[in-house]
Amino acid sequence: MDFAPSRSASAGAASTKIVVAGGFGVGKTTLVGTVSEILPLRTEALVTKESVGVDDLTNTPNKSSTTVAMDFGRITLGDDLVLYLFGTPGQRRFWFMWDDLVRGAIGAVILVDTDRLDEAFAAVDYFEAKGLPFIVAVNEFDGARRYPLEEVRDALALPPHTPVMAIDARERESAKAALIRVTEYALEQLVGGQRQPSMGAS
């Protein structure tokens, strides 16, 4: 998989792809919509009685719609980097789309809800298996229990180098900070990977 950002000749800025992933109702659509400088593309359907027994709505009783394909948005960081954002569907029956959505991405933001932390394991396992750099962003919902980030790291069995941060997906600067961090981390991993062969040879 090619992690190198592409460059738009017309805009003179590098562009790259970031995936926003996580379980059902953790705030992926909100994050993409909060930071996008264009009208975000959303592929949502109403949550109807057909979802009963298929989607677990216990912890999201007020959720009236759900992403069935992807969310898409764009944000420019500074004058030289454009991020294209792809939000994944959260329900398991749509996870077959993830392989297409992550193709060409340099990194991923895994959004988690501390009240449903177990739903993050599948996303963590997926990106670890893909070898795609990711960060974990704890979305601080109103009324949600707060835990030290190191406890979240331990609960998800994350290695020490994986960034874990708290954000509010509804706040632009907070959500933007997660995108900046995953971009930095992906580039750190890319540079580190390039250096490994020469270090081994010496």
Task: Going residue by residue through the chain, which has 202 residues, state the pLDDT in tens, using 9 for 90 and above.
Answer: 444 566 554 456 799 999 999 988 899 999 999 999 998 886 654 444 444 444 455 554 444 455 445 899 999 998 889 999 999 986 665 667 889 999 999 999 999 999 999 999 999 999 999 999 999 999 998 888 899 999 999 999 999 999 999 999 999 999 999 999 999 999 999 888 754 443 333 3
pLDDT of res. 132 = 97
Beta strands in the chain (DSSP E): 6-8, 13-22, 41-46, 65-77, 81-87, 107-112, 134-139, 164-167
Residue 122 lies in a domain: yes
Residue 202 lies in a domain: no
197 phi and psi, to 5 degrees? Answer: -60, -45
CATH number, domain of 67, equals 3.40.50.300
Residue 1 lies in a domain: no
Q: Structural domain tally of the chain?
A: 1
pLDDT of res. 47 = 42
Residue 24 lies in a domain: yes
Encoded amino acid at 103, one letter: R
| Domain residue limits at 189 | 6-195
Pull the structure tokens for residue 9.
Answer: 């000749």
Residue 118 lies in a domain: yes
In the block, residue with structure tokens 């963590």: 124
Residue 201 lies in a domain: no
Residue 54 lies in a domain: yes
- pTM of this structure: 0.79
The answer to whether the beta carbons of residues 73 and 45 sit under 8 Å apart is no
The Cα 24–Cα 186 span in angstroms is 25
